[in-house]
Structure 1
């Protein structure tokens, strides 16, 4: 496909390539440790909560710092923030590779998240400066495809590396891609910033980060300690208070990190729901399914990676096709239909036995459904704010996306643990069901039997599978509701809205 820019500069192709290389590393960073979780646990040890943080530490810091990263990019220059983020990302990746225990590993995962947020916000907002109108939507469809490549090949690449060189080798791959992106970006990206920027909204960034961190930690702690535990109640209360303070801060500052007035526009609201949609319909499966395939069903890493390609493979092609379809079909329709297809795939998967061949079709259907809106998301995000505030748009959209992903993973893991414990209790287990369920959710069937010595491995696996199927039905219902909100939000819009928040003509719903 030929992508023309407003001035025909060939260097803009290289800018796009640099940002796409950086974007490709992020899903690799996300899916790789999920595939390697059982080996990480065997090597570094750690409690179920510490192992949950292998994923959530990255998601939490990535999501919590994206809005601040977008503001920093607008204030201090997109190129500078992009390169600084990649440097931090590389150092943290090498640190995770050499981590001596689970505590250090989780800390380096958190540092990876901060580096990723800086790189992504700086790179995506720089990309928004290079392309305008319909071309911007097409450019961002390439960005979506880059994520698809990382998601599609992440599990199988990680499985091959783990089998050949051990789990630590997965971080060499992401570091190499990040270095290549930085070298290319250093030569091609021109620095730009918001001329009206007045500095970072530190109060907003701080209150939002504390709120999100407290919420995620509370949700992760609840399965082990119980929802009535004083620590869990305190963490959730802190989250609620600081979210309220964040809203008050953003209403008073002259240049807020999150412009709350944008929520008056249905299109903006629709875009935020679209950002949240992959979290519960797709991203949670990237974490749960490798754990289930490897830890519960006993598959090898390579076989699990091959099945995960069925889920994420459609993201290799369909985001680009969706960008082309948006010329003739309203993005609202593409996104709404895609999410309904995803919901249908989730229901189908809940009815499918865990047999290799049988799993292929529902996994592909889920991937097809989520891939249709995937390539339009980032372009729609930057279309609903003035061009000068592209960094804020990228920050808001991706904060919504990644924060929802992190919180969704935490909530879904907690829910799966609770439903599994209930299934075990229904089958006659009276004590230690919560502890056994927590270990099952991390894929450790052997350790679970130690808590329930009277229950066979088959009973434990059956309880987990029944809980998993119920969870899929709930996720499908949430996805259907989200599809309706996204469709209605993206289709609505008044003349006043379109004047205040310009939208490229090809994206009119």
Structure 2
């Protein structure tokens, strides 16, 4: 039973559309915050002296915390009030953004990003779960789609907004822009949203949440630190072992709990398992690409921050167009064929991109970048819909939570693993002959650092070597992405179940509850 502290019938309050607009603003902020930092990283690396590893942590601190806390955050809203926890999440996100804007060193930025991840983990599931208290069933799917569209629209807006801010203000402005948006969301929650809760929801399992956060944190730490310390370094090996133990403990605990937070038995459904793997891989590749591309466009090709953001749009455009077109194509050819074909297109684009040379210029980049977007869209949309469609209606809520969590985990590991591959390849290829040992070490930290040293020393050869080393590392990253996408395409073609005839894309959505409606709407946007 859901308790609603509001006497007005659901769907009758004229203020509900104003409330929806504020929720969209909140989700838009979270959406462009996902990509806005990628454009800012080269500038922040120069101003703060951040190494590639530290840049990875600035990106991953947000994603790891987000992934670890999203499921318990939803349960907190069910038990203690969704409006209350939504306000709390927006407040935490606002505080983290303020700390980030005022940060003076790398550690403060990483801490601020982690705090923002806590807030985002509360806001994302709860912004969707409050909609049933505002909208009647006839309007609910439309409202969920609008909120999800706000989050998706933020992805292409992030690089453009971030680029414009960096061209006109200091780097902290990419955090400061969140403040008015979060404040608007808080005001709307206070004055427009009714309070709802579900006393029958399972208790928040603090131990499972702690195991999730610690296990993911140890895994990401090991992957990020390995290129610098060495894969055989005792600290790196200890972190890998700790991650294995913690994640194993989490799985064993969740299998024994009567109402688990992460229902691992869902992976026994073949359609859910392989579609989820496909969707997770897409996030792995997307997050890695958005990490390695901005320094190439901004440092190697020499574009300013705004120009870098604009030049990322072909990938976002291809993604949005393909996501819109995916459902009709699935209806004609079936999800298995479309997911497999989308992954093949993604593999082709990544392998084509791996042939990028220092002299290739942006013309070649826009070609493979556009194809990458189409591959993403045609693989992730039917994969997410297929994953949820493979589950019984009464398991769709827990299934959508597990799917979204694994997608975030894929993103975190993508930044960590692909960023580490790039860092190691760059350091190995960079020619630092003639530089003092300390300066050579600094130059090897990142392509930004190498260019700063080259500018100060008027060493054109160092800048040229840095460009060549970075393009080589980016090529290796794209090669790995292409091979992984191709293997996934073969697995999808071999193991994904065929489409069930006569079942519409949103069948059982209302019975399954707002979680599955949200996930499917998010997939379509």
Could you say if the C-alpha distance between residues 385 and 97 of structure 1 is closer, same or farther in structure 2, counting changes exceeding 3 Å?
farther
Is residue 361 from structure 1 mapped to residue 367 from structure 2 by the alignment? Answer: yes
Choose the corresponding residue for 1:337, options 337, 341, 346.
341
Aligned to 1:205: 209
**C-alpha distance in 2 between matches for 1:491 and 1:50:** 42
Given the alignment of the two structures, is residue 122 of structure 1 paired with residue 126 of structure 2, yes or no?
yes
Residue 315 (structure 1) shift: 4.0
Q: Does residue 1:478 correspond to 2:480, yes or no?
A: no
In structure 2, the CA distance between the partners of 1:172 and 1:330, relative to structure 1 (3 Å rule), is: farther
Cα RMSD, aligned residues only: 3.9
Distance 1:278 1:13 in 2: 33
Given the alignment of the two structures, is residue 302 of structure 1 paired with residue 306 of structure 2, yes or no? yes
Q: How does 1:412-491 map to 2 (within 5 A)?
A: 412-424=418-430, 435=441, 438-440=444-446, 444-447=450-453, 456-486=462-492, 491=497
Task: Quote the residue 2:235 is aligned against.
Answer: 231
Matches within 5 A, 1:36-435: 36-127=40-131, 142=146, 145-186=149-190, 189=193, 191-194=195-198, 196-323=200-327, 330-353=334-357, 354-375=360-381, 392-424=398-430, 435=441
Cα distance between partner residues in 2 of 1:319 and 1:34: 22
Deviation string, structure 1 residues 354-386 (Cα, Å, up to 9, x no partner): 412222121111112212345566666665666
Q: Partners of 1:466 and 1:224 in 2: how far apart?
A: 18
CA–CA distance in 1 between the matches of 2:348 and 2:378? 14
* TM-score after normalising by structure 2: 0.81
Write out per-residue CA displacement over residues 175-208 of structure 1, whole angstroms, 9 at most, x where no aligned residue.
3333334444555555545553230111211111
1 CA distance for matches of 2:252 and 2:124? 27
1:281–1:476 CA contact under 8 A, matched in 2: no
Larger deviation, residues 328-337 vs 93-102: 328-337
CA contact 1:92–1:111 (8 Å) conserved in 2: yes
| Counterpart Cα distance in 2 of 1:189 and 1:482 | 43
Q: Would you say the 8 A contact 2:26–2:185 is kept in 1?
A: yes
CA contact (8 A) 1:72 1:200 kept: yes
Equivalent pair of 1:383/1:504 in contact (CA under 8 Å):
no
Match runs of 1:16-27 below 5 Å: 17-27=21-31
Could you tell me which runs of 5 or more consecutive residues in structure 1 were left unpaired when the two chains were aligned: 1-6, 496-500
Tell me how far apart the structure 1 counterparts of residues 454 and 397 of structure 2 sit (CA, whole Å). Answer: 46
Q: 1:101 to 1:470 in 2, by over 3 A?
A: closer
Structure 2, unaligned runs of 5 or more: 1-9, 502-506, 512-516, 521-525
Range moving further from structure 2, 54-63 or 440-449: 440-449
